[in-house]
Structure 1
Amino acid sequence: MATVVLVHGLYHRPEHFAEVAERLRASGVEVAVPELHRGSLLADTAAVQAAVDALREPAILLGHSYGGSVITGVSGAGHLVYLAAFVPEAGESAAGLGGASSLLQEAIRPGPDGSTRLCPDLAAAALYGDCPPPLAARAVDLLRAQAPGCGRGVPERQSWKDTPSTYVVCARDRAVDPDLQRRMASRCTDVREWRTGHSPFVGQPRLVVGLLQELLASAFWRGERI
């Protein structure tokens, strides 16, 4: 059975991928959407590794934003998809690569326990600015607090060096600079560019589903070059 693992970014939840997951499952694809927020990049990576290890065959791993740092440290994938995501080299972290845009940084609000939250209005502009307002509002409502330090975590391995990969640049992104995305994309096997904001899985889920179905139908995800 074709399999896909969807890995969300900071402040997000598996529910943000609900529409993508539902459409994939309706087409016969097995989908796993692990919950992150385990307290560190190492713990988040272990959670996704466990999901990959539980599958019956190599999966496509899609990492969004910080989720790119997570999938970079996972072994055993058939193909990696970086969606406006970080692609760290040895010793690099998401924060070290450039981290959040000034708009997203402005949205961050510290909590008394060291965690942070996002200001709803600024989060909507940074993360979902090109999404229909009802979808953006629901996505903002789903956002949760983030433990400190995850974005500064450094992956223990760089899976993109030995696993075929596709990078999707989101050209209208207001959370992660598209030029930074293009630089990171040069580390990947294949590069696409969409005229979307940071979160096309919210506003244009068919784009994400279409890409994953294309890869599942190709030789790419089996580790072969086309």
Structure 2
Amino acid sequence: MVAVVLVHGLYHRPEHFAVLAESLRTAGTEVFVPELHRGSLLADTAAVQAVIDALHEPPIVLGHSYGGSVITGLRGAGHLVYLAAFVPDAGESAAGLGGASAQLRDAIRPEPDGWTSLHPDRAAAILYGDCPEPLAAWAVDLLRAQAPGCGRGVPEHHGWKRTPSTYVVCARDRAIDPGLQRRMASRCTDAHEWRTGHSPFVGQPGLIRELLRNVSHPSSRTGHRVPGPAWPGRRR
């Protein structure tokens, strides 16, 4: 498999991808998980772009949630994977597309200097509600405070218009409305729908590992791979 770059969302850290990244590395895949939280969408995008620019061949880049806005602005990716993620078009931001669900907004609590964090008890149910309790608790403990404004950032480039892309709708998501996800998925080359919550890389990393293997080696796709419905407007 070609190199994989995993891009986390708001409030998250690279460590949330630890189990998935380790399983990919064990299988011989080179994996990069850059730290965001650089203060703006453009700064976050630049941090991931630096990783891509240092590679010898175009990688598969997966963006989760807000990470979709980040990977949209990249150049030089071989394939973009949007996992319950935002797919902005020209002039659009994650917040403008619909942003967080009402449940997630209610879980946000203010911190000094305009920063915000998530109420731990509510975050567990919203972000990791389909995970076993110990895994959900581990993931919640990793969450960090978030600087203001990133979700309102507008990408300067729209890679999904030229780069092959795959969208994964998480049908039991409580953080980003699945209906909104389906509308954004219509912008991508291919789409799938999983009966998972917002963060399958925590509870079901094997699903993502198999998806990335299929993206890297399309001829090896197996019969149990479930495509999403053919929504109107799907890019082919």
On whether the aligned pair clears a TM of 0.5, the verdict is yes
- Aligned AA for 1:51? V
- Aligned AA for 1:130? D
1: distance between equivalents of 2:55 and 2:209? 20
Deviation for aligned residue 1:90: 0.2
Per-residue deviation, residues 182-216 of structure 1 (Å, max 9, x unmatched):
00000000000000000000000000111001111
Q: What residue in structure 2 maps to residue 174 of structure 1?
A: 174
What SS class does the counterpart of residue 80 from structure 1 fall into?
strand
- Number of aligned residue pairs: give it: 221
What SS class does the counterpart of residue 113 from structure 1 fall into?
helix
Deviation for aligned residue 1:113: 1.2
Q: What residue in structure 2 maps to residue 63 of structure 1?
A: 63
The answer to whether the aligner puts 1:205 opposite 2:205 as a matched pair is yes
The answer to whether the aligner puts 1:191 opposite 2:191 as a matched pair is yes
Q: What residue in structure 2 maps to residue 223 of structure 1?
A: none
Which residues of structure 2 form unaligned runs of 5+?
A: 220-235
- Aligned AA for 2:184? M
Identity across matched positions, percent: 78
Written as runs of structure 1 = structure 2, the 5 A alignment for 1:37-186 is 37-186=37-186
What SS class does the counterpart of residue 15 from structure 2 fall into?
helix
Structure 1 runs of 4+ off > 3 angstroms? none
Q: What residue in structure 2 maps to residue 32 of structure 1?
A: 32
1: distance between equivalents of 2:3 and 2:217? 12
Deviation for aligned residue 1:218: 2.2
Q: What residue in structure 1 maps to residue 7 of structure 2?
A: 7
Per-residue deviation, residues 12-59 of structure 1 (Å, max 9, x unmatched):
000000011001001111000000000000000000000111111100
- Aligned AA for 2:93? S
The answer to whether the aligner puts 1:214 opposite 2:214 as a matched pair is yes
2: distance between equivalents of 1:212 and 1:126? 25
Q: Please give the TM-score of this superposition, normalised by the length of structure 2.
A: 0.92
CA RMSD, 1 decimal: 1.3
Q: Please give the TM-score of this superposition, normalised by the length of structure 1.
A: 0.96
1: distance between equivalents of 2:88 and 2:45? 14
What SS class does the counterpart of residue 77 from structure 1 fall into?
coil
- Aligned AA for 1:201? F
2: distance between equivalents of 1:27 and 1:2? 12
- Aligned AA for 2:111? G
